[in-house]
């Protein structure tokens, strides 16, 4: 794998970088992403590929289960610091919480015995305990899918526990979005105002709106 990565770097430097030299030179002067994208560490997700965005477009938080610890959680972690910088430092206009199909973190949340040898993962998933409580209170034929979608909703609530997020959302200059990405189909489902998830592809494009 190391050789594969090294070969990739050489190809990037020889082919891709020269083609985008002006773009990278401009990025060297600073960044101004419009969107904070919060997703899972799962290797099967490539935020820029899924959204077809370029370097500099997305400010990204990745962790197991796409979790955002609630405001005031101790100790303060990288998620809170990155969120603060994205909202107050960079002034992003949108925040996306993106869950995904076959999420190992959500599978572990539902089957804690599977995490007996992973104490740090178990401890981290305390930030999803509300997800577990809600899924347990509403049995489903597809608990895994229910956990994935419920967790997106819960993490959006966690985002809103940060005063600077809530204030900017109320002012109308920050919008929160909940997504679920499906590996098998490439489909992205978006949380609707009524609490359901619907295909993002069905939303009219700006040109057709």
Residues constituting the chain: 209
**Into how many domains does the chain fold?**
2
46 and 79 inside one domain: yes
Least confident of 110-119, 172-181, 197-206: 197-206
State the average pLDDT over residues 1-19: 93
For residue 117, being part of any structural domain is answered with yes
Whichever domain contains 139, its CATH number is 3.40.1050.10
Pair 11, 67 in one domain: no
Is there a contact between 166 and 160 (Cβ–Cβ < 8 Å)? yes
Residues 102 and 116 in one domain: yes
**DSSP β-bridge partners for residue 98:** 39, 179
CA distance 191 to 181: 12
* Structure confidence at residue 129 as a pLDDT band (50, 70, 90): very high
Residue identified by tokens 């940060």 is 162
Range of the domain at 144: 31-202
For residues 35 and 99, membership in a common domain is answered with yes
- Mean pLDDT across the chain, nearest whole number? 94
For the entire predicted model, the pTM comes to 0.93
Q: Which of 90, 100, 159 lies closest to 127 in space, CA to CA?
A: 159
Q: Say whether pLDDT at 151 is over 80.
A: yes
Percent of the chain with pLDDT strictly greater than 90: 89
Chain segment 89-108, per-residue pLDDT in tens: 999 999 999 999 999 999 99
- 88 is a domain residue: yes
The answer to whether position 85 is within a domain reads yes
């Amino acid at each position: 794998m190391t050789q594969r990565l090294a070969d990739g770097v050489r190809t990037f430097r020889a082919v891709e970088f020269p083609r985008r030299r002006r773009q990278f030179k401009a990025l060297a002067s600073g960044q101004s992403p419009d969107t904070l994208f919060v997703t899972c560490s799962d290797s099967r997700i490539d935020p820029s590929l899924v959204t077809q965005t370029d370097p500099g477009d997305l400010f990204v938080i990745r962790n197991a289960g796409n979790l955002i610890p609630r405001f005031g959680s101790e100790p303060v972690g990288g998620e809170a610091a990155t969120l603060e910088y994205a909202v107050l430092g960079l002034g992003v206009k949108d925040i996306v919480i993106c869950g995904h199909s076959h999420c190992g973190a959500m599978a572990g949340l539902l089957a804690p015995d599977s995490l007996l040898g992973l104490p740090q993962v178990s401890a981290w998933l305390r930030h999803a305990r509300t997800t577990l409580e809600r899924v347990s209170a509403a049995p489903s034929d597809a608990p895994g899918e229910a956990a994935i979608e419920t967790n997106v909703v819960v993490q959006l609530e966690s985002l809103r526990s940060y005063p600077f997020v809530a204030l900017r959302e109320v002012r109308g200059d920050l919008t929160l979005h909940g997504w679920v990405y499906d590996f098998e189909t490439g489909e992205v489902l978006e949380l609707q105002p009524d609490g359901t998830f619907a295909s993002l592809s069905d939303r009219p494009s700006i040109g057709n709106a």
